[in-house]
């Protein structure tokens, strides 16, 4: 299975990313930090994938940085909670 095998689902992935982005925003407003990070991470991963499909370097690299920050934030949340 290659990276481009899901190219036909790009539009559905973008709609899923929109829903994740909206839910993440609601989580931020409600002060649900872990939920916001857990919803934001797949949002970024979808956009990294879509960036690779369309060769949009700034889009994919910005989302790689945000994904790393979300992973750090989620790990930090569980380390400090434990």
Confidence band for 12, pLDDT divided at 50, 70 and 90: very high
Nearest to 5 by CA among 52, 73, 41: 52
Global confidence as pTM: 0.82
Confidence band for 66, pLDDT divided at 50, 70 and 90: very high
pLDDT, average across residues 12-40? 94
**74 within 8 A of 38, measured Cβ to Cβ:** yes
Burial of 11 (0-12, 13-18, 19+ CB in 10 A): exposed
* Whole-number pLDDT of residue 2: 64
* Whole-number pLDDT of residue 82: 63
């Amino acid at each position: 299975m290659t990276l481009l095998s899901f190219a036909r689902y790009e539009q559905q992935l973008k709609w899923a990313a929109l829903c994740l982005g909206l839910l993440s925003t609601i989580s931020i407003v409600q002060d649900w930090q872990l939920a916001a990070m857990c919803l934001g991470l797949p949002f970024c991963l979808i956009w990294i994938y879509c960036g690779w499909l369309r060769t949009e370097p700034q889009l994919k690299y910005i989302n790689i940085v945000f994904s790393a920050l979300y992973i750090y934030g989620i790990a930090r949340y569980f380390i400090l909670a434990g």
